[in-house]
Amino acid sequence: MTEERFDPSVADGRWQRAWDEAEVFRADSSSEKPKSYVLEMFPYPSGRIHIGHVRNYTMGDVLARFKAMTGHEVLHPMGWDAFGMPAENAAMEKGVHPGGWTRENIANMKAQLQRLGFALDWSREFATCDAEYYGHEQALFLEFYKHGLVYRRESAVNWDPVDMTVLANEQVIDGRGWRSGALVEKRKLSQWFLKITQFADDLLEGLDGLDKWPEKVRLMQENWIGKSTGLQAHFKGVNFDETIEVYTTRPDTIFGASFVAVAADHPIAQAVADTNHEAADFIKLCKAGGTTAAELETAEKLGFDTGLKVAHPFTGEDLPVWIANFVLMEYGTGAIMAVPGHDQRDFEFATKYGLPILRVVAASQADADKPFEGEAEAGEGIVVNSDFLTGLSVEDAKTAIITRAAEDGWGVPKTQYRLRDWGVSRQRYWGTPIPMIHCDACGVVPVPADQLPVTLPDDVDFKTPGNPLDRHPTWKHVDCPKCGAKAQRETDTLDTFADSSWYFLRFASQPGDKPFDPAEVAKWLPVNQYIGGIEHAILHLLYARFWTRALAHCGMIEVKEPFAQLFTQGMVTHETYSREADGRPVYFSPGEVVRDGNGATLKDDGQPVEIGRVIKMSKSKKNVVDPDEIVARYGADAVRWFMLSDSPPERDLPWSEAGIEGCGRFVQRLWRLFGQYDANAQGDDKPLARKMHQTIAAVADDIEALSFNKAVARIYELTNAAEKAAPSASRSEAIRALMLLVAPMMPHLSEEAWSRAGMEGLIAEAAWPEFEEAMLVEDEVTIAVQVKGKLRDTLTVAKGTGKDELEALALASEKVQRNIDGAPVRKVIVVPDRLVNIVV
């Protein structure tokens, strides 16, 4: 009966079970077919799937299914990025164990993913909190240690003096701890670091080869690495007995330097503070402010004159030394030579404190004494007022001064990176224990390989803040593996970015005795298509690239770049509904609101609510939709279709109730059309056949390019055409092709239709339809006829009609003649199969 409706509540489960039983999505590493590794960034098990996950995984799923249909052996795995702060927060708030909480979340989310019918190889699933996984991670960490890629040094953390806890940046709000509200202090702790800077150049150069990554991400990484070349110059103290090392990328402007500025935690600043209360207070003030680049650079420039003087290395002139809040100890030498004329930050600072602003670069020699117009001039020009550099270009002056500095011995050329080593120590429980032991006699001793994994203790207490590992009565007390004396375990755990830096290798193979099998890694890696959010553009992707290089450095793998092709998808957004109450907005969820054409009202009281901007879905704004709910209402295929429709995948997708309903209707429309498949229909329908071949070719290209919205539009067009066409063999063929075309996107509907039409096997294992090249070209084309560039008429002619004939036909047009109105024709431009433009 073709009139029945497609019922996802029955069909979805049926086909999910069928795929599972037939092990359709299990990757076979012994397959002869070309491999395709499709990977979406694995989720943090927060408890519920977010609609953003659905979008991400739907895209990957379409590609994975398409690759399988086009003859590839596909690896499409899924796992859990299961360590992290939310589990500890839950433990503190609800008194549940992080492990139990995480496992429960994983079970829930896995069931949610399965209801969406994703073509995942669940046999390779793991969570990073599995002792097996993090034990191998510890082994890799020790391998890095052995190869000199791991070291320990002091580094500052955010310290909450009330909760006695280290805080993440996001837990510091306006300089105060998020729970205690106490003023956060900087405290130095001895912490573990990975030497990512050793690979700075390699990571930078590697970006050139990643031509299938978004330009934007490559640029972000390039800026992050921040390679610069410049001069490190020595500025000798005049009234004190030390030299300040200054790094500058603009040595050409050295004659414009009017003071030297050091960071608040620079040794010189510290020394001054020891004897000067005002300086100490100022340093305190600097440390109270934010530490991120954005905060530092937007904060008001503040400084303190130390009274110290240094000598300009070339002129010998005295320059004052200031402590400035915009100078970073972490970058360069922690001290700068300030050139207010040609650096905006220095300019603001100099203006505020009345320091000299000198011009040493100008458009031409004639402008050598031109005053500044309220801002620094950081651009190109020629050097002026600069002794032997005067008259040189900025570039030439850089070379000249660096050479001179080296000759005179007051400076050296220096390549500098913004990239800093990766601090991996976290003073937390729910992470991979760092496998080190501290012995009073032997110092730091790695945990021997046969004692791995170092597992987390289960009996931990979250009632008091701080690191439960450190407080645990027995866990940290061990014997030194070297001398046997009483020693202590390292109680810091690894940054969770470590866990996500090699999970894609573990998916390729999961031996018990080692992290991965090199042969399997060689077979599957690199990941052919990696898909995830733009928020990971820098850290995760850079750390994963580093980790892969580090493994190659240790001789464990060959591949250097883990992700051949990267795609960053947009967010799912929704408008917000709110009312003002006590000066703060109170938000309502879409389910509590009735939306009509121009406004929205609350269901409860029928009174209007304010419609806010369309923004990323977030719990705090309540503009979220629950994937389970919509899958239950419309079926997995309608939800998947909506995720792919309309918005280009890299852009934000605005969620709408009307949109998902439209998708639900389309599922039923296709169902009715598929029901009209008739294997015995006779007769040709050339235009429909042509449309079908064109659509098959175009949809394949669109999916390869991840332009799902375009593929969707083309499928609509073919559906419209097939619906209108009279029964024929061509029409049945088009219907069959449509089943296959939508199979990666709406797998349940297409399986159901495929089986109802009496086709062999599962559509998930069917081959992508073939198209005939000859059928792609039209034999008639529509030619635009313009007069002076404006459209006046169109002509329908045989494809390939000659230029002269087209010109004659165009001039013969009555509409054209009317618009020419007797004026002499000056020129006629003819583009065959496209247009004729008559210029009068």
Partner RNA sequence: GCGGACGUGGCGGAAUGGUAGACGCCGGGGACUUAAAAUCCCCUGAUCCUUGAUCGUGCGGGUUCGAGUCCCGCCGUCCGCACCA
Which position among 782, 799, 802, 805 is part of the footprint of RNA (CB under 7 A)? Answer: 782
Which position among 238, 659, 729, 807 is part of the footprint of RNA (CB under 7 A)? Answer: 659
Return the structure tokens found at 219.
Answer: 């640029």
Which position among 716, 727, 805, 825 is part of the footprint of RNA (CB under 7 A)? Answer: 716
**Near RNA in 207-226, by CB under 7 A:** 215-216, 219-220, 223-224, 226
Report yes or no: 398 and 254 within 8 Å, Cβ to Cβ. Answer: no
**Near RNA in 282-301, by CB under 7 A:** 292-294, 297-298
CB of 111 to RNA, least distance (A): 20
How many CA atoms lie less than 13 Å away from 123 in the CB half-sphere?
A: 12
Question: What does DSSP assign to residue 563?
Answer: B
Residue type (1 letter), 118: F
**Near RNA in 426-445, by CB under 7 A:** 426-427
CB of 417 to RNA, least distance (A): 8
Cβ proximity to RNA: between 122 and 224 the closer is 224
Report the distance separating Cα 124 and Cα 122, nearest Å.
Answer: 5
Which position among 27, 653, 692, 743 is part of the footprint of RNA (CB under 7 A)? Answer: 653
Classify strands 35-40 and 73-75 as parallel, antiparallel or unpaired. Answer: parallel
Which position among 30, 169, 474, 607 is part of the footprint of RNA (CB under 7 A)? Answer: 169
Of the ranges 232-240, 268-276, 436-444, 829-837, which one interacts with RNA (CB under 7 A)?
A: 829-837
Which position among 119, 157, 394, 531 is part of the footprint of RNA (CB under 7 A)? Answer: 157
Which position among 131, 162, 539, 611 is part of the footprint of RNA (CB under 7 A)? Answer: 539
Distances (CA, A) of 442 to 433, 439, 447, 510: 20, 5, 13, 35
Interaction between residue 674 and RNA (CB under 7 A): no
Report the distance separating Cα 827 and Cα 810, nearest Å.
Answer: 13
Cβ proximity to RNA: between 651 and 686 the closer is 651
CB of 79 to RNA, least distance (A): 11
Strand positions, DSSP E, 527-609 = 529-533, 566-569, 572-581, 584-588, 593-595, 600-602
Which position among 99, 413, 654, 675 is part of the footprint of RNA (CB under 7 A)? Answer: 654
Interaction between residue 709 and RNA (CB under 7 A): yes
Cβ proximity to RNA: between 342 and 345 the closer is 345
Number of neighbouring beta carbons within 10 Å of residue 208:
9
Which position among 73, 81, 143, 685 is part of the footprint of RNA (CB under 7 A)? Answer: 81
Interaction between residue 227 and RNA (CB under 7 A): no
Which position among 146, 665, 799, 803 is part of the footprint of RNA (CB under 7 A)? Answer: 665
Interaction between residue 159 and RNA (CB under 7 A): no
Report the distance separating Cα 92 and Cα 468, nearest Å.
Answer: 11
Classify strands 529-533 and 566-569 as parallel, antiparallel or unpaired. Answer: parallel
CB of 421 to RNA, least distance (A): 8
Report the distance separating Cα 43 and Cα 57, nearest Å.
Answer: 10
Interaction between residue 837 and RNA (CB under 7 A): yes
Cβ proximity to RNA: between 154 and 369 the closer is 154
CB of 642 to RNA, least distance (A): 9
Return the structure tokens found at 659.
Answer: 């949109």
Report the distance separating Cα 795 and Cα 801, nearest Å.
Answer: 11
Of the ranges 94-102, 130-138, 352-360, 788-796, which one interacts with RNA (CB under 7 A)?
A: 788-796
696 phi, psi to nearest 5 deg: -55, -45
**Near RNA in 190-209, by CB under 7 A:** 191
Would you call 35 exposed, middle or buried from its count of C-beta atoms within 10 A (0-12, 13-18, 19+)?
Answer: middle
Of the ranges 311-319, 472-480, 687-695, 813-821, which one interacts with RNA (CB under 7 A)?
A: 813-821
Distances (CA, A) of 78 to 41, 145, 511, 522, 710: 9, 29, 17, 20, 27
Spell out the residues 6+ positions from residue 48 whose beta carbon is closer than 8 angstroms to its own.
Answer: 108, 109, 112, 626, 627, 628
**Binding pattern to RNA, positions 608-637, x when CB under 7 A?**
-------xx---------------------
Interaction between residue 491 and RNA (CB under 7 A): no
**Binding pattern to RNA, positions 89-128, x when CB under 7 A?**
----------------------------------------
Cβ proximity to RNA: between 633 and 815 the closer is 815
How many CA atoms lie less than 13 Å away from 521 in the CB half-sphere?
A: 23
Of the ranges 473-481, 515-523, 726-734, 826-834, which one interacts with RNA (CB under 7 A)?
A: 826-834
621 phi, psi to nearest 5 deg: -95, 0
CB of 797 to RNA, least distance (A): 11
Return the structure tokens found at 470.
Answer: 């450190």
- For residue 132, give the nearest of 697, 673, 515, 602 by alpha carbon: 515
Report the distance separating Cα 670 and Cα 644, nearest Å.
Answer: 16
Return the structure tokens found at 186.
Answer: 């900087």
CB of 189 to RNA, least distance (A): 7
CB of 780 to RNA, least distance (A): 10
Which position among 790, 804, 821, 824 is part of the footprint of RNA (CB under 7 A)? Answer: 790
CB of 427 to RNA, least distance (A): 7
Which position among 535, 610, 629, 772 is part of the footprint of RNA (CB under 7 A)? Answer: 535
Report the distance separating Cα 531 and Cα 569, nearest Å.
Answer: 7
| Size of the chain in residues | 840
Interaction between residue 240 and RNA (CB under 7 A): no
| SS3 assignment for 780-816 | EEEEEEEECCEEEEEEEEECCCCHHHHHHHHHHCHHH
**Binding pattern to RNA, positions 321-360, x when CB under 7 A?**
-----------------------xx---------------
**Near RNA in 14-73, by CB under 7 A:** 43-44
Of the ranges 17-25, 332-340, 398-406, 648-656, which one interacts with RNA (CB under 7 A)?
A: 648-656
Interaction between residue 155 and RNA (CB under 7 A): yes
CB of 640 to RNA, least distance (A): 14
| SS3 assignment for 710-723 | HHHHHHHHHHHHHH
Report the distance separating Cα 548 and Cα 542, nearest Å.
Answer: 10
Spell out the residues 6+ positions from residue 592 whose beta carbon is closer than 8 angstroms to its own.
Answer: 577, 602, 603, 604
CB of 658 to RNA, least distance (A): 3
Cβ proximity to RNA: between 79 and 518 the closer is 79
User: Rounded to the nearest 10 degrees, what angle do helices 8-22 and 98-115 cross at?
Assistant: 110
**Near RNA in 749-768, by CB under 7 A:** none
Under DSSP, is residue 8 helix (H, G, I), strand (E, B) or coil? helix
Interaction between residue 594 and RNA (CB under 7 A): no
CB of 516 to RNA, least distance (A): 21
CB of 254 to RNA, least distance (A): 21
Question: What does DSSP assign to residue 42?
Answer: P
Report yes or no: 516 and 509 within 8 Å, Cβ to Cβ. Answer: yes
Cβ proximity to RNA: between 191 and 623 the closer is 191
Cβ proximity to RNA: between 483 and 831 the closer is 831
Report yes or no: 53 and 43 within 8 Å, Cβ to Cβ. Answer: yes
Residue 214, preceding peptide bond in cis (omega within 30° of 0): no
- For residue 304, give the nearest of 290, 285, 291, 318 by alpha carbon: 285
CB of 468 to RNA, least distance (A): 15
Q: How many residues sit in the footprint of RNA (CB under 7 A)?
A: 99
Interaction between residue 419 and RNA (CB under 7 A): yes
**Binding pattern to RNA, positions 364-403, x when CB under 7 A?**
----------------------------------------
Report the distance separating Cα 51 and Cα 627, nearest Å.
Answer: 6
